Amino acid sequence: MGSASIRRMTSDAPTLRVAIAQIAPVLLDRAATLQKVVERVQEAGAREARLVVFGEALVPGYPVWVGPTGGAAFDAPLQKALFARYAENAVQPESGDLEPVQAAAREAGAAVVLGVIERAADRGGKSLYCSRVFIEPDGAIGSVHRKLVPTYEERLVWSPGDGAGLVTHALGGFTVGALNCWENWMPMARAALYAQGEDLHVAIWPGSVRNTHEITRFIARESRSYCVSASSLLREADVPADFPHREQVVPESGMTLCDGGSCIAGPDGEWVIEPQADVEGLIVADLDPHRVLEERQNFDPSGHYSRPDVLALHVDRRRQRVVTFSDDEPGSSAEA
């Protein structure tokens, strides 16, 4: 498959080079998809990017089969088999599944925002969460955010997340926050990040121009921040030949299920890079933090244009747990 490279320079002020890796997963194959992620991080590092962003649920892929195969059918053997395969290829960060990506980030000296399907060990290790992982430039996992509300048929395979990952990360001259797909439409989730000084918002998507072409500019304009939308691709050729009921998932030869749409808007709401469809590769831009300061002169949503005496938001950032154990032995209590 071909590789695209699009770059838009900003100014001579100190900048942050960002690379969006708009790629396709190897559907339901964690190891093979992670290898593609590592290669793109290495490529971005060679081009001196300091932030590399991937789409939602990229590892091991978005559940495109749910709608076409009647995913709401109760106790259906096909849905059970597909869920089991999905779970077997999901990611457990605490088990070291992301170590190859962490090593690549460390070698490149770049932070990575990656969409994964997480088998949450702290929730029993069987249910799945659509999670956003932030990997620091030193390779450490900085945070894992579980999508607050799965959308439509996603609720048949993904569990609702919590607020533990509503955090930001310092990177160069920016403060970076990130949300999954339609939770970018949740005003209070965005406000929680804005209040922490976010000025570079990352929105990750499964892949569609219709999802990114309006909200990217809207978030940028609302927050007076840069907004980076990162999407994936999924085409008929990316669905394995042995995929169960493949003819229902991709009934037409050459059809596209996810067409990308990755893009970047500046803090004035204007395009830095317009949505890019049907192109696989790195999309690179240099972002200037000085532009944020210019646009905050007339509007700052958590600063001079806020009224905390009138409007306030409470955010519970505790990781949700099912049970707390208290044993007789001192120091032996544990949470699950």
From the candidates 56, 136, 222, 274, which is the catalytic residue? 56
- pLDDT, mean of residues 84-106: 97
Label residues 133-148 b or e (16+ Cβ within 10 Å = b).
bbbbbebebbbbbbbb
Average pLDDT estimate for 101-110: 98
Residue tagged active-site, from 118, 136, 147, 274: 147
Residue of 118, 130, 154, 181 marked active site: 181
Instruction: Give the whole-angstrom CA distance, residue 180 versus residue 115.
Output: 8
Report which of residues 1 and 277 the model is more confident about.
277
Q: Give the tens place of pLDDT for each residue, 181-235.
A: 999 999 999 999 999 999 999 999 999 999 999 999 999 999 999 999 999 999 9
- For residue 242, the model assigns a pLDDT of 87
pLDDT band at 331 (very low <50, low <70, confident <90, very high): low
Structural domains of the chain in order of their starting residue, each with its CATH number: 4-335 (3.60.110.10)
Contact 305, 291 (CB under 8 A): no
What span, in angstroms and rounded, lies between the C-alpha atoms of 165 and 182? 16
Residue 38 CB neighbour total at 10 angstroms: 18
Give pLDDT, residue 3: 47
Whether 335 is catalytic is no
Catalytic status, residue 136: no
CA distance 327 to 311: 43
| CA–CA dist 311, 317 (Å, integer) | 19
Confidence class for position 333, pLDDT limits 50, 70, 90 = low
List, for residues 70-87, the tens digit of each pLDDT value: 999 999 999 999 999 999
Looking at residue 10, its pLDDT comes to: 43
Is residue 130 part of the annotated active site? The answer reads no
User: Range with the lowest mean pLDDT among 4-13, 255-264, 270-279, 323-332?
Assistant: 4-13
Residue 330 has pLDDT above 70, yes or no: no
**297, exposed or middle or buried, with CB in 10 Å at 0-12, 13-18, 19+?**
exposed
Render the burial of 250-274: b for 16+ CB within 10 Å, e for the rest: beeeeebbbbbbbbbbbbebeebbb
Q: What is the pLDDT of residues 286-307, one digit of tens each?
A: 999 999 999 999 999 999 999 9
